[in-house]
Structure 1
Amino acid sequence: MSYFTKPDDAGLARNAPLSRDRVEAFLSGKGWHYGIDDDGDLGGGWDGNVFYFFVQGDEQEILQVRGRWHRTLPAEEHVGAVMLANDFNQRKVWPKVFCRLEGERVAFYTEVATDLEFGVADDQLAQLVECGLYTGLQFFEQLDERFPDPEADASDANTFVEDRPL
């Protein structure tokens, strides 16, 4: 008699190769609005922030969900922004956050990347996409609280913005 028994395979989710079509099918299934930009990248807007969903790697095995905060800060805030991002990364596993100078402004980004070399089940893919979105949005909410927008206008929330580089 064994202490461990092999579970029945019936009902277990099966891994399938990662593909952009599967990511797009998940977004469609949730009823979320998304689009394809001029570079062919899959992305959309959540609470005014832009998120992209990349399938990368030599075998198209890496899923990356990358977000960009809907605002930027003056370049004078760069050192403080780097410290904020570094502090966040020391305390949290997801998302990875970073900032960079873009001209005279500082932009904030979030990123969740997962190697799916052995494929991914539908429920796992859903969890990874949602993790990238929701943890990114949580960080962006913290930025909104720390750096209130004096010209707050939510009229462009949930729209796809193609001209914001990620």
Structure 2
Amino acid sequence: MSIDPSAIPNFGGQQRPTPQSAPGGSPVVNPDQDLVKQLLDQMELKYLVDDEGDLAAPWENFRVYFMFRGENKELYAVRTFYDRAYPLDDKPRLLEVIDEWNRDTLWPKVYTHTHDDGVVRLIGEAQMVLAGGVNLEHFVSSTASWVQAAIGFDQWLTERLGPAEGKAAEAAEEAQAEAGDQEGEQAGGERTDEG
């Protein structure tokens, strides 16, 4: 997917960031969520705003979030949450696989997150510091490249580990069963399966 920055429509009339001139005459903008929405529209990607106010583009096996953080929203992060679930026993193998990815690629950097129920999931992330503004073409091309790389990682992971079907459902079911067993033990009751 390639994007011609000159093909992106006007960025919001009255809400348009005031361009400045960097050395060489490049436009410098202060990106915000509206700018990212317009970019996603240009890329013809569906998106939503979640309950916490973050912008997210959902895919079948993952979600890409576009977040602005910091007191002055000076940190821009594109973070991908992959839905594939792994049991805790698979974590050493996952670390080997994502170490290979992180050595061979620039972005997204991928890491594991272990939930309280023992399910391990992968998260990819790329960041940009926006203090003082950023060149519009750089912002657009970086965002588009990061989205493309998030998709590429999902495809690469499928090639390395096989399809997610079965394994994710199995890990989630095991974690739910264990959590249910622990809750029953903590409550002093016995778990019974009626059926």
Instruction: Specify the TM-score bucket, using the shorter chain as the normaliser.
Output: 0.7 to 0.9
Equivalence for 1:65: 78
Aligned-residue offset at 1:86: 2.3
Partners of 2:112 and 2:35 lie apart in 1 by: 30
Equivalence for 2:55: 42
Contact map agreement 1:54 1:63 (CA 8 A) in 2: yes
Higher helix share: 2
Unaligned runs of 5+ in 2: 1-21, 167-195
Tell me, what secondary structure is at the counterpart of 1:130? helix
Larger Rg: 2
Partners of 1:150 and 1:143 lie apart in 2 by: 9
Structure 2-normalised TM-score?
0.66
Partners of 1:119 and 1:37 lie apart in 2 by: 26
Report the more deviating stretch, 53-62 or 120-129.
120-129
Partners of 2:55 and 2:81 lie apart in 1 by: 14
Equivalence for 1:30: 43
Contact map agreement 1:54 1:65 (CA 8 A) in 2: yes
Higher relative contact order (CA 8 A, sep 6+): 1
Partners of 1:130 and 1:150 lie apart in 2 by: 25
Partners of 1:12 and 1:45 lie apart in 2 by: 36
Equivalence for 2:152: 138
Partners of 1:54 and 1:125 lie apart in 2 by: 14
Partners of 2:161 and 2:118 lie apart in 1 by: 17
Aligned-residue RMSD, C-alpha: 2.1
1:91 to 104, 113, 120: 104
Partners of 1:14 and 1:150 lie apart in 2 by: 43
Equivalence for 1:52: 65
Aligned-residue offset at 1:14: 0.8
- 1:91-122: CA deviation from partner (whole Å, max 9, x where unpaired): 32211110121223210111010112121233
Aligned-residue offset at 1:21: 1.5
Aligned residues: 143
| % identity of equivalent residues | 24
